[in-house]
Structure 1
Amino acid sequence: VSLTDRHHEEGSVSIPCPYDSKYQNNLKYICRGRQPSICLQTAVVTSNRKLNGKFTLTGDEESGNFTVTITNLAQKDSGWFLCGVERNNRLGVFSAVKLEVKGERSQINFVMLQRKRS
């Protein structure tokens, strides 16, 4: 699934991160880049540390989603993000998100990928 949304620079964007309901009590997080193997170590926010500067993580266990909101968007926020749920000390499910912030508008491409690891 690929979604596109547009936002203004200095505005905010909310990134939905889906996960399987059986992981609702597991650690949730988002990091910059596209490397699942180091995502937890480089996470900008986690469900244990829900606020970090411009990043805020909120959860909605009933919907099977958590949301990461980025405020005060700037061009330097452009790039890939990876959000996921820890499973057995490994990334179990993730969503890759590409954020493009250009001048007065930004474009965010959501590429939702499901990956299960044993």
Structure 2
Amino acid sequence: MTTVFRRIALIALALGVSGVLAAPAGADPAPQRITLDYTKGHCGQTTLMAHSFVPTTLEITTSNNFTDDAKIDMQGNRTPLPDTYGAVTTKVDLGSPMPGAIPFQVSGSEWPGSAGTGCSGWIIIA
């Protein structure tokens, strides 16, 4: 009997720590947004962090991008980035991702005089 009680207590503790018991059933988590800056052919950072099971939007702010073929490739999808001098934000819906890591690749032209040719990185979902 005490073994069964201990197992039930450990399972309840594990579920409570993981947040399963902490949130009311059916409650929708507040959406989150993660940001990436892309300017002059360079990314501001290459590792982004997000929470799992939460509606997530990646916002890429592009500025000083003087090529019309810049894009971000992620999860088999390609999203074009604007040819712009001022800051323009492009939004990519990631849904409610499971824990893991999502690789991304931002690329642009390798034309003479360009400051950079993009970056690759990860979105870490915890």
Q: TM-score range by the shorter chain?
A: 0.3 to 0.5
- Structure of larger gyration radius: 2
TM-score, structure 2 normalization: 0.41
Compare relative contact order (CA 8 Å, sep 6+) and give the higher one, 1 or 2. 1
Q: Greater helix share, 1 or 2?
A: 2
TM-score, structure 1 normalization: 0.43
Q: Greater strand share, 1 or 2?
A: 1
